[in-house]
Amino acid sequence: MNAHFPHASRLIYGCMGLGGGWNDEPATKADVSQARSIIDTVLDLDINVFDHADIYTFGKAETVFGEALKQAPELKDKMIIQSKCAIRFEDDLGPKRYDFSAN
């Protein structure tokens, strides 16, 4: 295995709760601080896979995760980030779904 690419842990940390609440309030410095603390704790527990999706807390989870990594870019070498995209909430076009249309 590549020396710069970590082996995936058997457990994955789901980042859905990062970034504050499921609301239209912007992420705060406290949310970034919390994300950094969580990242450090999870890595200390030998969990190195972080699961994201573009809809988690309406995008704020990815925002605060990215800000935390700006504070400590060396952490990127210790983790694997997996993400999902194109998830859509229920709307007039249908139920909650993945949307890979060309819109």
**Residues marked as catalytic:** 56
Tell me the sheet residues that pair with 94.
Answer: 91
The 3-state DSSP class for residue 1 equals: coil
Cβ atoms of 73 and 60 closer than 8 Å: no
Write the CA distances from 44 to 5, 25, 82, integer angstroms: 17, 30, 19
CA 17 – CA 34 distance, rounded (Å):
11
